[in-house]
Structure 1
Amino acid sequence: MRAVFATAISADDPLSGLEVGELDDVAGPPGWVKVTLKTSALNHHDLFSLRGMGLSADKLPMVLGCDGAGIDEDGQEVMVHAVIPTDGWRGDETLDPKRSLLSEVHPGTFADYVWVPAGNVLPKPAELSWEEAGCLSTAWLTAFKMLFSVSPVGPGSTILVQGSGGGVATALITMAAKAGFRVWVTGRTEGKRAAALGLGAAEAFEPGARLPERVDVVFDSVGQATWNHSLKSLKPGGAIVTCGATSGFNPPAELSRVFFTQLQILGSTMGNRSQFHRLAQFLVSSGARPLIDSVRPLEQAREGFARMLTGDVQGKIVFTH
């Protein structure tokens, strides 16, 4: 089968271990189903894997990719949910301490097909294109959970999204604007800030800028580079909702500000199957759609990885199969 896979791990040169080529066909475990993929999408998780974060050398070669949409064995159009719980787990799969994502333990979606547990396929709404449906399982589902399940505030509140170009950020801006939040964003370039305004943001600022007023909630997937600004931007009693740290995992704590102004720091990881269903329905009913940076055939995956590595991305990078 055609596949995009990791053959080596390098923290300093992640693309050195990336291969695009052929792998032997494999069968899934008993009870798993085969999805022939039409589209898939790139995430920072895929670069982290090539750096050895979440993927160990003993699992190589490993097919990369978490997001995907395609046709199941019954001929149904489906989307793939990337969170794989352990056998026998009951309840929210994102709370399973031994959960994994596709491409960590089991082969991912950057291939002709993927095997997943039967519970990890969901119907693809007819209203969504293959490109849109193929980029929801990671960044968009993460953003949906952050906004509608983890955040303590609702529509009408003022929120700040740190970073305006990545998959989680563009998803947050798009959905929050559709749902009636006042959305402020930070962006590194004038082009990224303009694009965020086009998605529905009310204001766009340079990174670290002093805001006109403090906000109710900050959504931060950047981490180390933005953490101090996130804390300083909050009203007393406000909250940071964090799902990742693309700039580094060691932010300064500023604990005195946290407890003196009674701030909350709320962690969020991925989303469960029920939330994925709700995300799909929200997109259908609201008209919100993923911002797609570019679409490439799977054979040109290396160019997509290189583009993400530079940080010059606005939305999702999608691969066609």
Structure 2
Amino acid sequence: MLAAYAARLDRNDPLSALEVGERPDPEVPDGWARVHLRAAALNRHDLWSLQGVGLGEDKLPMVLGCDGAGVTDDGREVILHSVIPSPGWSGDETLDPRRTLLSELYDGTLAEQVVVPTNHLVPKPDGMSWELAGCLSTAWLTAYRMLFSNAGVSPGDTVLVQGAGGGVSTALVQLGSAAGLRMWVTSRDEARGAQAVELGADRAFASGERLPERVNAVMESVGAATWSHSVNSLNPGGTIVICGATSGDAPEKAELTKIFFKQLRVIGSTMGSLPEMRRLVDFVAREGISPVIDQTLPLGQARAAFERLAAGDSFGKIVLTTGD
């Protein structure tokens, strides 16, 4: 089968570790199912894997990819849930210290076929496009959990999204807007901020800009560069939900005094559970939300897709299709 995979690891030049070519068709263990993929989206996780973050030399070669949707051997159209718990784990799989994502321990979705546990298949709603379905498993699930499970917000509340343009950020704007939240974004790029407003954000601000009023919650994925701004932007009793730290995890100031004095909540958030995945799919279908897709390319052009992701030029998701 054709696949995009990590053939080696390179922290300084991750794209040099990427190969696009033939890999053996996967075997199907008991309790797992084969999915013939129709669409799969890229995530920053794929670049990190090529750098060796969460992926060891002993697991190579490893097919990349966490997002995906396709057709099972028995003809069911499905969306994949890619958080895989360790054997014997019960409950929320995101809390399992030995959990993995597809492409860490098991081959991922940037291929013509993938195998996953049978209970990790979510029915694709009738009429939902493959490209849309192939975007939901990672960034969109992360955004759903941040907003609806961890932020503690209600319709009419104001939510600030630090950064605009990435998969999680655009998902947050679209999900929050559909749920009746007032969504604000920050961006270093005025054009990206304007795109976020077109997408449903109520206002866009320059990174670090003083806001006209404080907000109920901040969705934080940037980390060190925006941490103080996030803390200063919150109402007393507000919540920061943090899912990543692309600018580093050591801010100049921890802001501990402001956090305890203003009684702020800081909530870590990682991916989402299978029930949340089902709710996300239902919500997207019911509200008619169409994830922003920056570019769609055939699987054979995966290198070009990775180059665009690495350059940081994309707005929304980059999707690879098998062409079937």
> C-alpha distance in 2, partners of 1:80/1:255?
39
Q: 1:43 is matched with which residue?
A: 43
> C-alpha distance in 2, partners of 1:136/1:85?
19
The structural deviation recorded for 1:183 is 0.8
**Percent of aligned positions that are identical:** 57
Q: Counterparts of 1:1-20 in structure 2 under 5 Å?
A: 1-20=1-20
1:227 touches 1:251 (CA, 8 Å); kept in 2? yes
2:240 touches 2:267 (CA, 8 Å); kept in 1? yes
> C-alpha distance in 1, partners of 2:265/2:170?
23
Q: 2:107 is matched with which residue?
A: 107
Superposed CA deviations along residues 216-246 of structure 1, whole A, max 9, x for unmatched, are: 1000111122112111111122110011122
Q: Which amino acid aligns with 2:306?
A: F
Q: 2:303 is matched with which residue?
A: 302
> C-alpha distance in 2, partners of 1:254/1:232?
9
> C-alpha distance in 2, partners of 1:27/1:271?
27
Structure 1 SS opposite 2:283: helix
2:70 touches 2:79 (CA, 8 Å); kept in 1? yes
Q: 2:288 is matched with which residue?
A: 287
Report the number of matched residues.
321
Superposed CA deviations along residues 269-288 of structure 1, whole A, max 9, x for unmatched, are: 11111111111111111122
> C-alpha distance in 1, partners of 2:167/2:137?
11
Q: Post-superposition, which runs of at least 4 consecutive aligned residues in structure 1 deviate over 3 A?
A: none
Structure 1 SS opposite 2:114: strand
Q: 1:245 is matched with which residue?
A: 245
The structural deviation recorded for 1:159 is 0.8
The structural deviation recorded for 1:31 is 1.6
> C-alpha distance in 2, partners of 1:272/1:26?
25
2:243 touches 2:270 (CA, 8 Å); kept in 1? yes
1:34 and 2:34 are equivalent in the alignment: yes
Structure 2 SS opposite 1:159: strand
Segments of 5+ residues of structure 2 without an aligned counterpart are: none
Structure 1 SS opposite 2:178: helix
The structural deviation recorded for 1:158 is 0.7
Q: 1:85 is matched with which residue?
A: 85
> C-alpha distance in 2, partners of 1:80/1:186?
31
Structure 2 SS opposite 1:183: strand
Q: 2:181 is matched with which residue?
A: 181
1:44 touches 1:246 (CA, 8 Å); kept in 2? no
The structural deviation recorded for 1:91 is 1.0
Q: TM-score, normalised by structure 1?
A: 0.98
1:94 and 2:94 are equivalent in the alignment: yes
Q: Which amino acid aligns with 2:101?
A: L
1:58 and 2:46 are equivalent in the alignment: no
Structure 2 SS opposite 1:16: helix
Structure 2 SS opposite 1:165: coil
> C-alpha distance in 1, partners of 2:192/2:299?
26
Q: 1:311 is matched with which residue?
A: 312
Q: 2:192 is matched with which residue?
A: 192
1:143 and 2:143 are equivalent in the alignment: yes
2:65 touches 2:108 (CA, 8 Å); kept in 1? yes
2:185 touches 2:201 (CA, 8 Å); kept in 1? yes
> C-alpha distance in 2, partners of 1:251/1:119?
40
> C-alpha distance in 1, partners of 2:11/2:249?
14
1:222 touches 1:245 (CA, 8 Å); kept in 2? yes
The structural deviation recorded for 1:185 is 0.3
Superposed CA deviations along residues 275-305 of structure 1, whole A, max 9, x for unmatched, are: 1111111111112221111101111111111
State which drifts further: 240-249 or 293-302.
Answer: 240-249
Structure 2 SS opposite 1:46: helix
Structure 1 SS opposite 2:175: helix
> C-alpha distance in 2, partners of 1:280/1:25?
28
Q: Which amino acid aligns with 2:104?
A: E
Q: What's the RMSD between the two structures over aligned residues? A: 1.0
Q: 1:131 is matched with which residue?
A: 131
Q: TM-score, normalised by structure 2?
A: 0.97
